[in-house]
Structure 1
Amino acid sequence: MEEEKINIYFLIIVLGALLIFFVLFLLGKIFSTIEYIYATRTNKPLFIHFYWPLRKLTPDQKQFISKRFSFYRQLNPRKQLFFDHRVSGFLKHKTFEGRSGFVITPEVELYVAATAVMLTFGMRRYKLPILQKILIYPEIYRSTITKQDHKGEFNPLLKTMVLSWKDFLLGFEHRSDNVNLGIHEFIHVIQINSYKESSISGDIFIDASKEIINKLKTDSYRNYVLHSKFFRNYAFTNEFEFIAVLVEHFIESPQHLKQEFPDLYIKIREMLNYRMNH
């Protein structure tokens, strides 16, 4: 009799667990459908920020970021807390290594992480799992892959980004030349990650990218862009490079891009969901 009771209780527990799993699965499907419809109409996720518990940065870390990122300074205090949480989360999932005598400091890690978070702040997923390791050289280095001198590169097979620290800093010191190594390389990471990791933000990023590239494939529009001399020649190396250079312009001189190419400006803003009222 006692054994029968135990079996009945066990069966109830199993059925209850299956019911909970089914309900959660059904709710997930319903949410995905609602968000898909919402994203189709608005070109943005249904929500972006929801964290528990909320990780915090120290006052010194916050001051470091605020001094170097105007994006951060324009966020309200609540959004700055979200930014802080993402920086902390990003750093928790990445490893940094110095090369050719370069010493990795907390400030170096913070600068790189804040760059990534700035670019993904309009996306729900921000940890970029396609990237695990960041190697930093003091200056231009000889790539072990291409056997050529590089300022930066991203290897998705090794899940590794490589940066010249001198050129990384120059990208932020000259804020209106539309050349920023950190932004450029992280856009490549986001590009690959969007294809590898299924997410609503990744889908929006890919769709907007395709619209830009398809537009560029039109002879009349491509000639218009080429003759404008607005973008440096490197932008026309391939489709990936064009998007990366375009984002550099969007971040560093948004009003100039908006004035010259309002259609591209709108697509990049849509691609990154880059709105100050995230």
Structure 2
Amino acid sequence: MNAKHTFVNLFLKRSSKQECHIVLSRWNTYYEALSEKHKKTFVVRTLLFLNTTDFDSKEGFELTLEMKLVISSAFVQITFGLKQDVLRIFNTIFVTPTSYKYASRDVFFNGDVNTVTKRVNLSWPAVEKGFIITNDGLNIAIHEFAHCLIIENTKRSRLSKNINQNDLNQWKDIATKKLPLIREGKYKIFRNYGGTNLMELFATTLETFFEQPHEFYSYAPTFYRTTAKVLKQDPRNGKNPK
């Protein structure tokens, strides 16, 4: 636990940390695999994210603390090897009881990052499914937070970026070559949607990286290692991924 999280830990109630631990043990297989030392850090980071994020929901839909902790854990999971532990631009998360659509588009969404409202929108049933089925490379919370991570990183100055630019450029070089193959369904480790553009491929890659790390590595070891380098962690090492 770094100095910042050690300091934050001083202000967290033992009961809050215990409740968080119970929820994460029930819902998050990444957390459950961690060493006890890393679990303590993960809990602190989850509660820090929870307490610095504005959660809201559709009127009439009860957004429970358990739901908030599950959603928060997805962000902590993808950033566990990075310094970034909160969202500064997209720090409002709106949760809906079903899939939703915008008035201007006749398409239903399970999640999106709205750059106009600076809000992350998530359908709870989709979030829930992502944490119940943990080996299909589909997790909407991880997917949308991956978008947030990239967008917020681009807004930072060169010296304050949370992702090493050389590592990210190396990832982009490989990903650009994979895009047409994925789009055509010829790169089986990712679903075709990942071939839409680099932004969607990054999000789809992170879903596969965390839900199917061994399969990803076996299928594309160089691409896997490059992704691990960007995120500064390797989920194949369950107890000590970073």
- TM-score normalised by the chain length of structure 1: 0.75
Equivalent runs, 1:1-278 vs 2, <5 Å: 49-51=2-4, 52-54=7-9, 55=12, 57-99=16-58, 101-144=60-103, 146=105, 148-198=107-157, 202-204=162-164, 206-218=165-177, 226=184, 227-275=186-234, 276=240, 278=242
> What are the ranges of 5 or more consecutive residues in structure 2 without an aligned counterpart?
235-239
Deviation at 1:234, TM superposition (A): 0.5
Q: Aligned AA for 1:203?
A: I
Q: Aligned AA for 2:218?
A: Q
C-alpha contact (below 8 Å) 1:99/1:137 kept by paired residues: yes
Deviation at 1:53, TM superposition (A): 4.1
C-alpha contact (below 8 Å) 2:100/2:109 kept by paired residues: yes
Q: Aligned AA for 2:150?
A: Q
SS at match of 2:135: coil
C-alpha contact (below 8 Å) 1:183/1:248 kept by paired residues: yes
Distance 1:238 1:63, change over 3 A: same
Deviation at 1:223, TM superposition (A): 5.8
Q: Distance in 2 between matches of 1:68 and 1:201?
A: 31
Deviation at 1:194, TM superposition (A): 1.1
Distance 1:99 1:223, change over 3 A: closer
Deviations 1:45-96 (A, max 9, x none): xxx8322141353322211111222222232222222111111111111111
Deviation at 1:161, TM superposition (A): 0.3
> What are the ranges of 5 or more consecutive residues in structure 1 without an aligned counterpart?
1-47
Deviation at 1:130, TM superposition (A): 1.6
Count of matched residue positions in the alignment of Structure 1 and Structure 2 = 228
- TM-score normalised by the chain length of structure 2: 0.85
Distance 1:59 1:222, change over 3 A: closer
Distance 1:224 1:241, change over 3 A: closer
Deviation at 1:222, TM superposition (A): 5.2
SS at match of 1:142: coil
Aligned to 2:237: none
Deviation at 1:201, TM superposition (A): 5.9
Distance 1:174 1:233, change over 3 A: same
Structure with bigger helix share is 1
